[in-house]
């Protein structure tokens, strides 16, 4: 990531919009307003990957169910830019798969414009867009993993505390005040939690493959 993601930058946030419905992309582009600059649009996974490579955006806003699959985009582009999924699906598996593949946020298409802009600004600034519902899902996933495969990359007591507060609807600023830590530290804990989820689920998949003789 480059310094161009820093909060407080005066220039608009450079965004790639990826969705297979042009009318929907047009609506999102209009909703984003002057604080964002859409540098490219794409309608398939391959087009999106190419657009990210060509434009090096600050942020990719990506549909989950586009042709070729949004998860392919996330797994390919997560190292190149920050990715927020914007989709109709609220299925637990879709949320967890997107997060574990490297997405920093997951929003539904019914998200109001002002809330969408605020969330995307946060994501571009390095903050995971982590709703209370998503936090609760992730907490449940760690509990499931602990039962299924033992203490692989377990959450620390502090990480669990942060995640529980997020799941209760507290903002990062409120959590920082309650735990007497910096807001940036809260962000780092959430980022570490997402990283551990990815490692845990990757380990689980590898173990499943070994157990079942899948090369």
pLDDT at position 205? 57
* Mean pLDDT, rounded, for 102-130: 87
Structural domains in the chain (count): 2
| pLDDT value for 90 | 79
**Pair 112, 192 in one domain:** no
pLDDT of residue 208: 55
CB neighbour class for 103 (10 Å; exposed up to 12, middle 13-18, buried from 19): buried
Task: Identify the pLDDT of residue 1.
Answer: 43
List, for residues 25-80, the tens digit of each pLDDT value: 999 999 998 899 999 999 999 999 999 999 999 999 999 999 999 999 999 999 99
Instruction: Answer yes or no: is pLDDT of 7 > 60.
Output: no
Domain of 175 in residue numbering reads as 133-211
Q: What is the CATH number of the domain that holds 141?
A: 1.10.10.10
| Whether residue 169 sits in one domain with residue 76 | no
Residue 202's pLDDT is 59
Tell me what pLDDT residue 206 has: 58
pLDDT-wise least confident of 2-16, 34-48, 83-97, 184-198: 2-16
Q: How confident is the model at residue 188 (pLDDT cuts 50, 70, 90)?
A: confident
- CATH number, domain with residue 95: 3.40.50.2300
Same domain, 64 and 22: yes
The whole-number pLDDT of residue 167 equals 80
Show which of 105, 128, 151 is a domain's final residue: 128
Last residue of a domain, one of 96, 128, 160: 128
205 and 158 share a domain?
Answer: yes
At residue 2, the pLDDT reads: 42
Domain co-membership, 161 together with 189: yes
pLDDT in tens, 117-173: 988 998 998 778 866 777 777 777 777 777 766 555 678 889 888 888 888 878 888
43 and 117 assigned to the same domain: yes
Co-location of 121 and 139 in the same domain? no
pLDDT band at 108 (very low <50, low <70, confident <90, very high): confident
pTM above 0.85, yes or no: no
pLDDT at 126: 78
pLDDT above 60 (res 18): yes
């Amino acid at each position: 990531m480059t310094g161009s993601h820093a909060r407080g930058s005066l220039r608009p946030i450079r965004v790639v919009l990826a969705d297979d419905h042009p009318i929907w992309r047009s609506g999102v582009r209009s909703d984003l307003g002057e604080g964002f600059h859409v540098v490219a649009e794409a309608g398939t996974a391959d087009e999106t990957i190419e657009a990210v490579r060509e434009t090096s955006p600050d942020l990719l806003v990506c549909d989950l169910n586009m042709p070729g699959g949004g998860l392919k985009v996330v797994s390919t582009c997560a190292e190149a830019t920050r990715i927020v999924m914007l989709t109709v699906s609220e299925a637990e598996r879709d949320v967890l798969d997107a997060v574990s593949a490297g997405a920093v946020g997951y929003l539904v298409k019914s998200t109001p414009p002002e809330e969408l802009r605020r969330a995307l600004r946060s994501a571009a600034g390095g903050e995971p867009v982590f709703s209370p519902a998503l936090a609760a899902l992730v907490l449940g996933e760690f509990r499931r993993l602990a039962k299924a495969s033992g203490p692989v990359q377990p959450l620390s007591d502090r990480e669990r505390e942060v995640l529980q507060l997020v799941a209760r609807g507290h903002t990062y600023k409120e959590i920082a005040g309650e735990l007497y830590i910096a807001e940036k530290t809260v962000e780092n804990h959430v980022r570490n939690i997402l990283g551990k989820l990815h490692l845990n689920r990757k380990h689980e998949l590898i173990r499943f493959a070994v157990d079942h003789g899948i090369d």
